[in-house]
Amino acid sequence: MLMHGRVISPGEAEGEALVSPEPIGFYGGIDYMTGIVIEKDHPLEGQNVQGKILVFPNAKGSTVGSYVVYALAKKETGPLAIINAQTEMIVATGAILGDVPTIDGIDINKIKTGDRLRVVAPLNDRVGTVEIL
């Protein structure tokens, strides 16, 4: 299945999906040193985002979350790519600074945890693709 969405941050990645049906708060929600979701009662609590393609509707919380997304990328404890239903400035800023391929406008309900995905977010194009392999 091939889905098209808006490129937020360019790049390519292939890997396993980790899907949250709920928004993610990066500041206080993910430990940037380990990549583990630490937000209490979050559907992904205790799971690690490192090396996954992180799929979630949107972010929540403080704008400091941008720096957490960036820190995850720089420490190599973060996701290979991010897919959102709607990306807002928190994720967009962190993803761009951290060179994390990011696409939004995707029907995330079609993606399940464990699906193998290929994300292609071209540098000079506004349209990217998410393929379930």
Annotated active-site residue in 9, 20, 62, 66? 62
- For 50, the domain range is 2-132
Which residues are registered as beta bridge partners of 59?
Answer: 24
- pLDDT block averages, 10 residues each, the chain of length 133: 97 98 96 97 98 97 94 97 96 97 97 98 94 97
Structure tokens given for 24: 């993610």
> For residues 81 and 101, is the Cβ–Cβ distance under 8 A?
yes
pTM, whole model, 2 decimals?
0.96
Which CATH number characterizes residue 44's domain? 3.50.30.10
pLDDT, position 62: 87
Structure tokens at 74: 């720089």
20 flagged as catalytic: no
What's the Cα-to-Cα distance from 76 to each of 20, 68, 71, 98, rounded to whole Å? 21, 12, 8, 10
Cβ atoms of 9 and 119 within 8 Å: the answer is: no
Number of structural domains, the chain?
Answer: 1
Residue 115: the pLDDT is 98
